[in-house]
Structure formats: C-alpha cells, structure tokens
Amino acid sequence: MGASESKLAFKEDVFRLAREDNIPADSSWWAQFYQLPESSDDVFALWSPNDVRSITLNGTDRPFPGGQVDPKKNLETLIYTCVARLKALQTRRCYPDVHHPIAPEILNCIRILTRLLPYIYESEHLNAWEERFFWQPRRPQQVYDTKHNRDGQYIDGLEPSKIIKQENGEQISTKEIGHPLGEELITILLDYMFFPSFTLPKRLNEKGEPELKVQYSIWVSGIGCRHSAGVTKENERNATEVVRLLLALCSKQLYVHPQSVADVDNKALTYITTQCDRQVSLSVVCSLLNTVLKYNPATWRVPINFAADGDVKMRLVNVSLQLLLVLVLYPAPQGETNAFRKAISRLHRVEDFQFIQQGMNLVLTQPISGMAAYLPGNQKIVPWAPELLVLFWELLQANKRFRSFIIETDRAHDFVVLVLYYAMDARQEPSKQGFVRMCVLILQTLSVESAFGMRLNKTFIGQESLPSVLRINNFHGTYADFLITSVHSLITTTKGRLESIYPALLAIILNIAPYVVELGRATSSKLMELFALLSSPPFLLEKESNHQLLGSLLQAMTAILEYHLKDNPRFVDVIVRGRQRFIALRDFTVEGALAELDRQAHARKDRASGNDSGVTTPARHPSIDSLRSPSTTLEHVPEHDAFAIGDDDDDEDGDNSQGASSSARMSSSMHDPTVPLQSRSMSEKARGKQPVGQGNFSRSAHGSRQSSVSSLPSLITTHTSHMQQFAATPEWLETWLPHLPLHTILTVIDNAIRQPIRPRAATAPSASPAIDAPNRPIEPTQTPLPQPSSPPKMQSFQWTSLSLGWYLSLMWGLIYASDIATNKGVNGIWTGTGIKIFNIASRSYDPISLRSPKGAVDAVGNTIVQRLGSFTFSGAGGANGAGQER
C-alpha cells in the first residue's frame, strides 16, 4: 500500500463499513482488509478511532446511558472474517503454491483485531452484545439477502459457505454450532505463539512442504528447556504482534472502575488461566519468563532508543513481561486455579532460582552499575524495570521456596539495596507514589521472614559505591542499620506524600526489630527522631487514628529491648538519654496538648508581626508537670527538634526535683504487683478512669489501611484547623493512651537510672570516667525483663479487593504508559479509548524513564496520567494484617 491511490481506495472501503451495513459475508471484498496492508502503521493509521467507533454504533445516535444495542452487522462480519482467516492459515494450505508466504495475512488479521477490541471494550452499550458474541456458544449468523431486500439464510460465521439448515423443527437462531468465538480466538493465538515459519523457525515435512503442525517449543533456553528453539528476528517480530493482541484481548480491566476491577470476571483471562491445556500454559509461561530473564541490557553495542523500531528483542521482552504479569496477577474466579500462578509457585530447582535471580539482577542493577557510564546515551534504567519489580514481588508471594532461596543465600541483601534505590529515587515525585508503595510492600513481604531479620545483622560493605540518592554519609553499620535509616528517610523527607504507606514502613521496622543486634548509635537516634515526631501533640491530635502509627513504632522499640537487650547497648543508651520524651508521652493530656498548640500559634503570629520580645521559645528540657495541668503549656517538651544525643538532661545529678519525683512515681507504679502488667506505665489518673476488666486489654494491630500522617517535618499547625476535622477528647485519649506499649521501655529506663553507668567490657579504661561515662553505651548489670514466651508476631500485607484494585491499576498503568511510549501517535493499542481504571490527563510520547518521569497515576478511582511513565496510587489496601498469599 505504498501508493497514495491505494491507501485512498482502502480508506474509502473503511468508510463503507459504517455507511453501508449488511455487506454479504461471503463477498471477496472482505479479503482486502487482510491482504493489502503492508505494515502495522497502515492498519492503525487507516483505521482511525472515529472509523472504529462508527461501526460499533447501529445508527447515528448514541444509545442512552446504560442502554444496550448491537453494533453494525459489518463489525461482526469483519471479526468473523479475521478469525476465520487465522484459523484457515493455521490448519490448511490456502494457496496452490505451498511456499506462498502467509505471515503478512496472519499479521494483518492480528492487527485488525488489536485495533478493534479496545473500542469494543470501551463501549458500554456493547456489554451485552460482547458477552453474547464472544463468550456464549457460537450460533448461526443470518445473512441479509440484498437482492430481494430481506433476511436470508443462516451460515456459520467462521465458514460463510456453510449453510445451517433447520432440523426437526428446532430454532436455528439458538442452535449451538461451536465453542464461543472468544475461546476459539484465544486457542488460535496461543497456537500461533508456537507456529513454524511464523514465531518458530521454518520446518519442512517429508514432502518438502512447510510444516503446519504446532509444536510447543519454548522460545529460548532457561526454565524448562536447555536449548533454544533458534528463533530469528522475524520470528521475534511476529511473536510481538501475537502477544500484543493477547494483551488487547485481556485488557477489559482497563475499562472497569478500580473499585470493582478485582471482582469482575474477565472472560478472556478466565479462559486462558483456567481452561487451557497444561502443556500450552507451561510452554507459554516458560517462553515468556525465559525471554524476559535472558535479555542482557549491559552489552557493548550502540544504544538503541526503546521507542525505535530497531531493537526487536527489546519490544518482545517488554510485551512478554507485560503479558506474563497480566496472566499471573489475575485473580481467578472462586473455586478456579490460575494455571500460570500455579506454575511459578511450583518452581523448585535451585538452578531455576539462580536463573531468575541473575536475570532480574542484571536488569535492575543497571542504574547503579558502572556499565552505563561507558555507553554514551544509554538509558540508566531499563524501561521495564518497574514491571520486573512487580514480577519479583509476585514470585516472593507465590513461591515460598523462591523466597527462602533469596533470603538464605543472602541475595536478599542485594535486592534490599535495589528496591530501596528505586524507592528513594522516586520518592520526591508525587506522581510515583504507587511505585514507591510497591517497593515498600516488597520489603514488608521479605521482612515477615525471621531468617531475613537475622541475616540483616551482616555488616554492610561498599556503601561508598552506591548512588548519591542511596548513600548515607559516614555510614558504618549493618544491613539492618541501612534499612532502618532508609525507612526513616522515606518518612521524614517526603513531606507527607507517602502517608498511605507509613504503616507499611513502620511494619518493616517492627518485623525486623526482634532480630536486630548491635544497632548503631546513629540508627538508634533515627528511631528516637521518629518517636519524637509521632508522639508530638500536633500529630496525635490531627487525626483520630494517628496514634496507631505511634503504637507500631513503640512496639518495634519494645521488641528490640525484649529480645536483645544486652546486644543493643547503644540503643538502650539513646533510650535512656531521651527518657523525658517517654515520660511526657505517658502523662500526655488533651488539655495540655491544646494549650501547647495555642502557645505555638501565638508564637508564630508574634514572629510574623516582628514582635517576639515576649515570646518564650521552646526549651530543650521538658517539664513533666506542664503536661499534666490543663492551664499550662507544653512549651518545654522538645517536639520537633531533630533528636541528638544530649538533648535532654542526661546527668543524674542534674535532674530537677520534678523529674526525680516523676521518676520515683513511675518506678513505684511499674513495680506495684497490684497493677496489671499492661497498665503499669499509665498515670494514676489514667488508671483511675480505666474500666474494670481492661487490665488485660489486648491491643489491636497498629497501622491499618486508613491510617495516615501529615507532613512529618512540618507538623506544627494551629489546632483550630485540626479541630475542624477531628476533635480530640479525654475519652478518646483513654481508648489508646493507657494501652501504648510503654511498660518495657520505662522499665529499662528505670533500671538504667537506678544502677551506675558502666562501660562495656570491651571498652578501654578512661582517665576521666566522670567525663567519658555519659558518652558510652550503658551495660545493664542485670536483665530487668522476662524472656518473651512466644515468637515475634509479624505484620504481613493484607490483600483486600480494594488493595488488589490498586495493584491491578498500577500494573495496567505501567503497561499503558509503555505502549504509548513505544508506539507513536495513534499506533498505541489503547490510545484515545475511554479508559476507566485511571484518567488520562495529558500525553507525552517520550521514552519511559524513572529518572525522567513521563506519567502519573493518582489514587484508585482518581488515577491521573499526567506524564507517562510515573505512577501514584494511594488510598487502597491495608498495610498490615494476616494473609500474605493471594
């Protein structure tokens, strides 16, 4: 179709589809649609969105909202024509010359269907027709007798020359003549993935003719196959087209609202994942997986733009990964088993796990490897790195053996660094919240394993070679130190953008806390900084559930003390030096907090007016009584200053009378045998108000899905604005403050105060112990805490229909953005269609790069693609709870 005249003639025939309905199905006129186009561009350019939509409407007026109408008969005939031709070329020789090339016709049929399906899915008025036409048993199609201007005979749509006649008085229109057309199409396409002379090398039979028999040979060596099938670039190009059509066929989820996407039965995906033959599904999953993992981006070659047509391998790898994720992530209807998810869950050979780990590592390490620097113009991040992280998460969830392999062979250390790199690199972009959230949930999935927590105590080496976004200045410590410090950075440097995943971030710390030993002083100070921020009055009074985050952090700090008190002297030292903060929290009152907020508001107002002569700046030494009295303020409690060793009054001789008396009262209550264990850290006032029977209160899991937090670095705001959203009351305070896990921490503090500070045995003696002692770790003379009687309780990610909707939205957002970046203009599969799972705000056709964002997706139900390539999802799915597997 190189000549403009032929393109104009073809375009006129496209117009005829909408202008003239009921074109005879047996007419040779239909053959031009799969014979004339020479490239994918011809099909997508000559079938404009308006051309396709015009044949989805049976009339000039659009149906009323919710109304169901059938499309033009020509649309049905066109689909039947393409499917019938695909089946014919696969099952018999259609040309006298047995060596006549059939690939062009196959590709044109595939491209036409790829063009049509998204516009069928977007049309709500075709829902009933789509269900009947594609997914119910195939029935005879009645043709129109144009010669006599009346309805004609019934035929088989896949064989127009076959006339269906009435038998025994049956109703012809309801007679079942074959499997549903959608199932027929899927079977044909899966066979074309392994068709000789198309997606596999050409084979000849004993007569010297091209073989037509499908052979389920895995494309490349790897899992399930030691030898590659020897596919050529032409085979890879054809396979890319088949995979793209399968993606289009399975993309019904793009046109469903995210709140219900997890509950909708996607008929195409249900059939592929639950009804296909086992040999077919295994061949498909191994071919796709091996193709993805065998790709090596770190080769010495001239870099090729991902959006260009030159690198066929890159295109195939990209769409193969996308189709694999679509198949593996699909939640099969209740009672059905997803064969593809089952296949990856059954992997057990160590060499397979090594193959997977090496293939993922090769791609994900590109941004932090030295190879990219030697390749001028090379993209630092492989375009499908986000999708590869999705696959890694799926393998961790579905395959326990793979999870154990990653952890027990210390590969988890590498993946912790890689996942943190992608999270830290994207954390400042509001449009990438969903991607950062997924990275955090990957770490949470790993952290629930006890072996992971124990292996984090390995010393971190090579920190200086990390990218600047991940490097910690003057870092010396273990992987646990590195992980906790990175979590602290994600919380405190994102200005509240990641508030929906703060529970998951704190759950990571909580899960590894029982196994941490020799925690560094700097890391311990980071934990105290988080405690200071989460226990500040502005934060606690901002939202009704914010105290749950504080409880989760306190639970983690308690676990460190209960399981490894003697092995964490620096952490104990930091806890003791910041003891006034814990005492202030124990005696927290709503009246005192509101008074402090008023004082801060007046102080800011005076500073803004330039009159600060009468303003009292917050002292760095807290006053305990100031928290108890409603008539006083919290001005002496250091709420927002960065925590540092020595902030509080550390010397025992320097404690004022108020602090000493408070410590004495705290000590007496903690050792009073009549006070229940859970209530020994309460104030007397709180215990007096406690209802009978609450002494054995079992605290619920902290960090629920609804928990959120404002911008932690800037928490000081007037309480007037807070009260418009949530009004704190003493009754509300009593529901959670008495049950905070403070008892262990206060017990350790009390024990450390009662005994002299002794340097650790490994520390050399000092000439001036009175000066050096306060700066040395505290070595308790006795263990004040009983050994935990039960193993640590892990906080796993809990899947809900809402969180699964977020996850599917994230995946389809990545696929959509990748398709737009790869296929320019109108050549995208879903370009210009009415997608509902997220909203398209603007477009850019530049290559996707996480370092140079091109896209965004907002909250589930309100997803926005602003610049393709970056994604933000928030507000769906719990961060904690039981139930790791889907």
Q: Give the rounded percent of residues in the chain with a pLDDT score beyond 70.
A: 74
Would you say 114 and 248 are in contact if contact means Cβ atoms under 8 Å apart?
yes
What radius of gyration, in Å, describes the C-alpha atoms of the chain? 33
Determine the average pLDDT of the residues in 134-159: 85
Report, as an integer, the average pLDDT of 612-620: 39
Residue 726: per-residue pLDDT: 76
Contact yes or no for 76/133 (Cβ under 8 A)? yes
Examine the pLDDT at 479 and tell me if it is beyond 60: yes
Tell me what pLDDT residue 629 has: 32
Which residues, including other chains, have CB under 8 Å from residue 276's CB and lie 6 or more apart? 186, 190, 284, 339
Span 185-200, average pLDDT = 96
Listed ranges 493-497, 626-630, 688-692; the one with the highest mean pLDDT: 493-497
Round to whole Å and give the CA distance between 756 and 353.
53
Using CA atoms, how far apart are residues 622 and 532, in angstroms rounded to an integer?
12
Instruction: Encode pLDDT of 796-825 as tens digits.
Output: 999 998 999 999 999 999 999 999 999 888
pLDDT above 90 (res 669): no
Asked whether residue 13 carries a pLDDT value surpassing 60, the answer given is yes
Judged against a pLDDT cut of 90, whether residue 613 lies above it is answered with no
User: Exposed (0-12), middle (13-18) or buried (19+): which is 264, by Cβ within 10 Å?
Assistant: middle
Residue pLDDT, tens place only, 764-792: 333 333 333 334 444 444 556 777 767 88
Region of 617 on the Ramachandran plot (φ > 0 left; ψ -120 to 50 alpha; else beta): beta
User: Per-residue pLDDT tens for 813-861?
Assistant: 999 999 999 988 888 999 989 999 987 765 443 333 322 223 333 333 3
* 864-865 and 839-840 strand pairing: parallel
For residue 60, pLDDT over 60 is answered with: no
Residue-level pLDDT at 691? 35
Q: Which residues contact 807 (CB under 8 A, 6 or more apart)?
A: 329, 438, 877
Q: Alpha-carbon distance 577 to 128, whole Å?
A: 69
Supply φ then ψ for residue 143, to 5 degrees.
-90, 165
The verdict on pTM exceeding 0.75 is yes
For 380, the token pair is 């630092």
- 140: Cβ–Cβ under 8 A, 6 or more apart, which residues? 154, 155, 156, 164, 172, 173, 175, 177
Please give the single-letter amino acid code of residue 662.
Answer: S
- C-alpha closest to that of 635 among 759, 746, 537, 741: 537
Contact 421, 483 (CB under 8 A): no
Listed ranges 293-302, 647-656, 685-694; the one with the highest mean pLDDT: 293-302
CA distance 757 to 569: 11
CA atoms within 13 A on the CB side of 450: 5
Phi-psi region at 219: left, alpha or beta (left = phi > 0; alpha = psi -120 to 50): alpha
pLDDT score of 874 more than 90: no
Say how many CA atoms lie within 13 Å of 94 toward its Cβ. Answer: 14
pLDDT at 715: 33
Is residue 673 exposed (0-12), middle (13-18) or buried (19+ Cβ within 10 Å)?
exposed
The reported pLDDT for the residue numbered 841 is: 65
Question: Tens digits of per-residue pLDDT, 398-445?
Answer: 999 999 999 999 999 999 999 999 999 999 887 788 999 999 999 999
Query: Is residue 884 scored above 70 in pLDDT?
Result: no
- Over residues 701-729, the mean pLDDT reads 41
User: Does 718 score more than 60 pLDDT?
Assistant: no
First to last CA, the chain: 50
Tell me the two tokens of residue 414.
């590498």
Tell me what the mean pLDDT of segment 674-701 comes to.
Answer: 36
Please report which confidence band the pLDDT of residue 145 belongs to, taking 50, 70 and 90 as the band edges.
confident
Query: What CA–CA distance (Å, rounded) separates 265 from 629?
Result: 60
When pLDDT is cut at 50, 70 and 90, the band that residue 650 belongs to is very low
Q: Do the Cβ atoms of 173 and 153 come closer than 8 Å?
A: no
CA dist 437 and 439 (Å) reads 5
Per-residue pLDDT, averaged over 707-735, amounts to 54
The answer to whether the CB of 559 falls within 8 A of the CB of 791 is no
Checking if the pLDDT of 460 tops 80, the result is yes
Decide: 444 and 796 in contact? Cβ < 8 Å: yes
pLDDT band at 119 (very low <50, low <70, confident <90, very high): very high
Tokens of 349: 């050979």
**How confident is the model at residue 447, as a pLDDT?**
97
DSSP string across 689-743: HSPTT-TT--PPPS--TT-----GGG----HHHHHHH----HHHHHTTGGGSS-H
| Angle at 108 (CA atoms; ends 106, 109), nearest 5 degrees | 65
Q: What is the mean pLDDT of the chain?
A: 79
What integer pLDDT is reported at residue 624 of this predicted model?
A: 26
Share of the chain above pLDDT 90, in %: 52
* Pick from 233-247, 281-295, 327-341, 749-763: least confident: 749-763
Query: Measuring CA to CA, which residue among 210, 158, 148, 201 is closest to residue 179?
Result: 158
Q: Is it the case that residue 303 has pLDDT exceeding 80?
A: no
Using the predicted structure, report yes or no on whether residue 876 has a pLDDT greater than 50: no
Length of the chain in terms of residues written:
886
> CA-to-CA distance for 854 and 210, rounded, in angstroms?
46
- Split at pLDDT 50, 70, 90, the class of 597 is confident
Burial category of 147 from C-beta neighbours within 10 Å (exposed 0-12, middle 13-18, buried 19 and up): exposed
CA separation for the pair 125, 868 (Å, rounded): 29
pLDDT given at position 143: 83
